[in-house]
Amino acid sequence: MGEQITYSISEAIESDVSDLELIYIEKHIFDIIRKLEGSEFLRAELFSYAARINALYMIMRAGSGHLGSSFSSLDIVSWLYLNVIKPSDRYYSSKGHDSPGLYAVHTALGILDFSNIHKLRRFGGLPGHPDIQTPGAFTNTGSLGMGVSKAKGFFIADKLKKRDNGKIYVLTGDGELQEGQFWESLNTISARNDDRLVIIIDHNKVQSDKLVSKVADLGDLEAKFRAFGLDVFRCDGHDLVAFDEMLNTNNGKPKVIIADTIKGKGISFMEHTSMESEFYKYHSGAPNKEEYSLAIKELLLQITRLSNQLNFQQFEVSKVEIEPLTISKTFKKLIPAYSDAIIELAQTYPDIVALDADLVLDTGLIPFKEKFPERFIECGIAEQDMVSQAGTIALGGGLPIVHSFACFLTTRPLEQIYNVSTERSKVIYVGSLAGVLPGGPGHSHQAIHDITYMSSMPKMTSIEPISENQAKEALEWAVKLNSNSTYIRLVSVPIEQCNEIDNLVLQEVGIGAVLTEGSDFTILTCGPILSVQLVKASEILKSKGINIKVIVTPWLNEINLKWLEEVIMDSKGLLVCENHSSKYGFSDFILSKIAETGICKVPNIFKLGVDGIPAYGRPEEVLSYHKLDALSLAEFVLEKVEKN
Amino acid sequence: MGEQITYSISEAIESDVSDLELIYIEKHIFDIIRKLEGSEFLRAELFSYAARINALYMIMRAGSGHLGSSFSSLDIVSWLYLNVIKPSDRYYSSKGHDSPGLYAVHTALGILDFSNIHKLRRFGGLPGHPDIQTPGAFTNTGSLGMGVSKAKGFFIADKLKKRDNGKIYVLTGDGELQEGQFWESLNTISARNDDRLVIIIDHNKVQSDKLVSKVADLGDLEAKFRAFGLDVFRCDGHDLVAFDEMLNTNNGKPKVIIADTIKGKGISFMEHTSMESEFYKYHSGAPNKEEYSLAIKELLLQITRLSNQLNFQQFEVSKVEIEPLTISKTFKKLIPAYSDAIIELAQTYPDIVALDADLVLDTGLIPFKEKFPERFIECGIAEQDMVSQAGTIALGGGLPIVHSFACFLTTRPLEQIYNVSTERSKVIYVGSLAGVLPGGPGHSHQAIHDITYMSSMPKMTSIEPISENQAKEALEWAVKLNSNSTYIRLVSVPIEQCNEIDNLVLQEVGIGAVLTEGSDFTILTCGPILSVQLVKASEILKSKGINIKVIVTPWLNEINLKWLEEVIMDSKGLLVCENHSSKYGFSDFILSKIAETGICKVPNIFKLGVDGIPAYGRPEEVLSYHKLDALSLAEFVLEKVEKN
């Protein structure tokens, strides 16, 4: 990080920011804002605009982060923290991805050490979704729909511990209302009738991909909440006077405030009301530098306006030069390859129906949706509903292909997947964002148990494609050759180019490939992430005179024993490792097979995976923490080889 | 089965049924009823009372089955099948446990071969919950809340396949409305606006344990449905004239009919309106013989009344003598032992809070609830909500112990369990009804993946107690000694007395016990069910001169390597088996450990579990099908020993 320079706001507006410069607001400015004389509503508004600058700063530095909902909720969050929340109260966001906004408030108020604004999505810094190890976080969120349930649990604990009765403010998304658990959690609300509960709906109209109304219109939301026994309020979520009035009305019942907000509020071209395409652009990624530059100007103009109204002329802006994010080499991407494959197959197989749970941008389904609108089902954030629908589509003669992030797809609807499997139906499940990378979003989004859950399912074959070729072939195999169900585990992060894996094709069931030859040690793995690291490790080790054999298989619950014997029989030592937990994981599957069949007389056998709670941070930080980067893997082998 | 005798209805009313006699109605009587002249409503009523006799017959023969909801829904189901459903239509029950009633209708109409009425919950007969391999079943249900989602999938398939647009009638429970998926599935209902969907709520007021209103009052149900965009109707579900009128009203919208029914309808003392205690007695078990005798008399009187009204004098009743259910030996039961243990610990640990999901009768929590009403939380059929509440109870300083059937507890809220585990909280999960037994309810209730799901979780130790002692000690260990979370896997079926296991106490973490000594072959297992079978197998084998060593461990994801080495090192052959799937299961955990540590030079290693979709039937039928009964296990060993 370069030296920090401070400007007056007018200088900042006039000067251009270079490609490597970012702007933020120091904590002492927030301290001053809080003490300004004048309207408390204006103060909160100024505070929230300054916080927007910092939230945007964090996202730009991280290269990703949820901008749209941070901005839609920042007025509310600022107001709550400046004027409402008492020490015995709790506030948390059920959706959790609006954390850059929350962190901006927490750092401004000293709840979080201010230096954290430079560490969003970095190891040892701030995770992409809340974690209770971060000061100010009351519970882990990021898996949707859990917020109200969690509040009920806190109330029970408070009663048990005879604690002072603090209020609980739960912010939820509007897309989040598609999750069944949200409604499930309301069932006992009226019976328990705890008026300390305040649910605030950040009704910004846009879910991950597009307008909520285009996915599953919420209908008469007020009537729904009223029917579930809540005291219902509704206001413009950027009108703090109205919002505060509703907060202060107490009818002795648990309360919901539907706050009509604007996604991306504060930057004209990011506001959802100015959306020109079907898809909203600023849900989770970082804007480009041109957009950043324009955005900063707009925010600074708002700040100027508000500062003037509050007679605060000394508003200072800090500018800092950051290290460029290394965008190195050529990358391979599995999602676009998969995206092409499903289109191609759908042309020949008219029974293919693709189902999606509000992640069409991430699961590569836009081309499919455009080409086969009749065979594309947008289920919304409703994984259980999606899988049960897929099951009967299959019973009715269709071939459903179900998409979501692996972390959600293999957990939220697990009972539904089992139910479908007991119907002996053929359903293809495609879980993207699989494995410990990206590490930025944190544990709620890191699928490190999906292999276990899906591979243990009756009548299910699990595959993790290693190359673009294999991503295509895996789907072909699932559609054309497998009469049962298939789980396709897709890594979403770009994969470094690596000659050894780039052109790998899918062999027959249970057979993998040898990536590097070597007689000193053998390593078997699955998936592209560790394959690349292992090829690199083999190069490091070669320079030390050690030659390792690296083997990779796309088949996660099938193994051809003859092949396995052939490739491992001469090993002097064997490591099985995985981009996944090794507790009841892929390694156990392989090692058990080795024990069971007695084919391996290898004296030294080891396993390694993402054990415990996955670390968050940049890819290299996360792999290194779990000792799954090339260097750690090379060291591991070195130690084992030296021992013998 | 003894010889069948036919009586006139008046003879049947006058004669007593002996303890081994049961009464049913032959198919030809139903055929006659359908052709009687007179009111179609009276005909349907008579049909439904005759079907009640057969549903009761099936439940009595099986020794279990869901009586209350079969009876509450039988008028509706009879009407639909006699007068409404066309060949292109589909009917299914989302709750699924009312299947004895449905089977009674299906056998009466020839949709199912009539002989099936003698085979409820028997291997090769009719499963306790619907399975599509049974004629007349459109989808597998029994896991709650999936019905409407499934209908949406059928509609998609019909459109895809350009099929005739049949209607879909989905019956749901009222307790079932507590499941989030139900509401999740309604989100897209109004957008898709398919008026072929008819949801019928069997609003019988009582869920598994008690009155729905005492668990989570449904509030203004009509308003809820209306807010979700459904066309809402409400009527007395036993008033077929009113019901039919509502079926025939079409406003071009998907429809819900709230049918106010009486649980146990038709037998005065089984009707919920005559409930005297908090708990409803006739949800799932079979009545005793006295109750049966009284019930039959009441049903026959109703039939007499209706037959007379329809001028049908030749109504015949068949009586048959059945084999007595073998109630042999002394049994041990883990649930009562657990029940005592939680009370005892709760006296010393004031932070213990017990959470239940509408299975208080089955999870042994009634004594706890009575003793510590303030620390008992009835969550209703809302497992996701329950687990998320448990998580924040733990964060707030409580020690939550979460209860449900293993099949539901480890699947429906799996993402919530992971979320709690990432909070590093201490929560105790107690999954009862674990394993493949009882086999009667069928696959929806057979937990054969719970070990995998829970043992792979970060910061979770899994234990399966083998004896009453161990059930108590497992909970003690979880409460007092484990600083992380614990999963306690409880077998609910009575365990045959077996000296080798009855007094087993809990050793330290990772250490099990040797049940029988022998040098010819070694078998390692977990849990009481297979332990008993293996001790029996050892006796069978002893008589053939083969001595096997049987080892059992309660620790499902911890193993003391020194102990393991000690007990298996001299084995000539080793089998690891489990009352659970061996695909990514306990066996893989053990075998992987053996491979990894190289402690075992055993030449022949095998594994065995409940693989594929679990079979249904009586315990002996199910174990035998999966080759996990004593005889099959002995044969397995014999074959392996002879080979060497």
The whole-angstrom distance between A336's CA and the closest CA on chain B is: 26
Quick check: B421 pLDDT over 60? yes
Residues 6+ apart with CB under 8 A from A444: A96, A129, A140, A141, A142, A143, A407, B419, B422
pLDDT at residue B19, as a whole number: 78
Contacts by A536-544 with C-beta closer than 8 Å and gap 24+?
A: A536/A630, A537/A630, A537/A631, A537/A633, A537/A634, A537/A637, A540/A630, A540/A631, A540/A634, A541/A634, A541/A637, A541/A638, A544/A638
Average model confidence (pLDDT) for chain A? 95
Instruction: Return phi, psi of residue A327, to 5°.
Output: -110, 90
- Give A21's strand partners: A321
Quick check: A586 pLDDT over 70? yes
**Model confidence, pTM:** 0.97
What's the mean pLDDT in B14-35? 91
User: What domains does chain A contain, in order, with CATH numbers?
Assistant: 21-321 (3.40.50.970), 332-496 (3.40.50.970), 508-643 (3.40.50.920)
Distance CA B269, CA B420 (A): 44
Question: Which segments of A291-375 are extended strands (E)?
Answer: 316-321, 331-332, 352-356
Task: Return the minimum-mean-pLDDT range out of A327-331, A332-336, B443-447.
Answer: A327-331
pLDDT digits (tens, 9 = 90+) for B74-101: 999 999 999 999 999 999 999 999 999 9
Quick check: B405 pLDDT over 70? yes
* Residues in B touching A128 (Cβ below 8 Å): none
Percent of chain B with pLDDT over 70: 98
Quick check: B227 pLDDT over 60? yes
Instruction: Return phi, psi of residue B190, to 5°.
Output: -70, -35
Quick check: A600 pLDDT over 70? no
Q: Please name the residues between 132 and 161 in chain B that touch chain A, using a CB distance below 8 Å.
A: 132, 138-140, 143, 145-146, 149-154, 156-161
**Per-residue tokens: B428:** 């105790």
Quick check: A164 pLDDT over 90? no
pLDDT digits (tens, 9 = 90+) for A349-400: 999 999 999 999 899 999 999 999 999 999 999 999 999 999 999 999 999 9
pLDDT digits (tens, 9 = 90+) for B535-588: 999 999 999 999 999 999 999 999 999 999 999 988 999 999 999 999 999 999
pLDDT digits (tens, 9 = 90+) for A53-90: 999 999 999 999 999 999 999 999 999 999 999 999 99
pLDDT at residue B569, as a whole number: 85
Task: Return the minimum-mean-pLDDT range out of A11-25, A558-572, A616-630, B424-438.
Answer: A11-25
The whole-angstrom distance between B484's CA and the closest CA on chain A is: 12
Q: Are A400 and A374 in contact (CB under 8 A)?
A: no
Q: Please name the residues between 57 and 96 in chain A that touch chain B, using a CB distance below 8 Å.
A: none
Quick check: A457 pLDDT over 80? yes
3-state helix, strand, coil in chain B (%, to 5): 45, 15, 40
Distance CA A579, CA A554 (A): 13
Q: Please name the residues between 541 and 580 in chain A that touch chain B, using a CB distance below 8 Å.
A: 557
Tell me, what amino acid is at A17? V
Give the one of B151, B223, B391 whose C-beta lies nearest to A150's C-beta: B391
Query: Does the beta carbon of A32 lie under 8 angstroms from any beta carbon of chain B?
Result: no
Tell me, what amino acid is at B288? N
Distance CA B322, CA B269 (A): 25
Residue whose C-alpha is closest to residue B404's, from B375, B434, B370, B371: B434
Taking CA atoms, what residue in B is nearest to A216? B188
DSSP three-state, residue B42: helix
Query: Mutate which of A179, A228, A456, A600 to test chain B, going by most B C-beta atoms within 10 A?
Result: A456
pLDDT digits (tens, 9 = 90+) for B184-224: 999 999 889 899 999 999 999 988 888 988 888 888 999 99
Q: Please name the residues between 397 and 426 in chain A that touch chain B, using a CB distance below 8 Å.
A: 397-398, 400, 407-408, 411-412, 414-416, 418-419, 421-424
Quick check: A213 pLDDT over 80? yes
Question: Which segments of A278-427 are extended strands (E)?
Answer: 316-321, 331-332, 352-356, 376-378, 399-405
pLDDT digits (tens, 9 = 90+) for B584-613: 999 999 999 999 887 667 778 999 999 999
Query: Does the beta carbon of B606 lie under 8 angstroms from any beta carbon of chain A?
Result: yes
Burial of A150 (0-12, 13-18, 19+ CB in 10 A): buried
The whole-angstrom distance between B566's CA and the closest CA on chain A is: 18
Residues 6+ apart with CB under 8 A from A18: A321
- How far is residue B71 from each of residues A363, A496, B55, measured CA to CA in Å? 47, 63, 8
Residues 6+ apart with CB under 8 A from A6: A26, A316, A317, A318, A319
Distance CA A51, CA A40 (A): 16
- Asked whether the beta carbons of residue A458 and residue B583 sit closer than 8 angstroms, the reply is yes
* Residues in B touching A160 (Cβ below 8 Å): 350-351, 353, 374-375, 393, 396-398
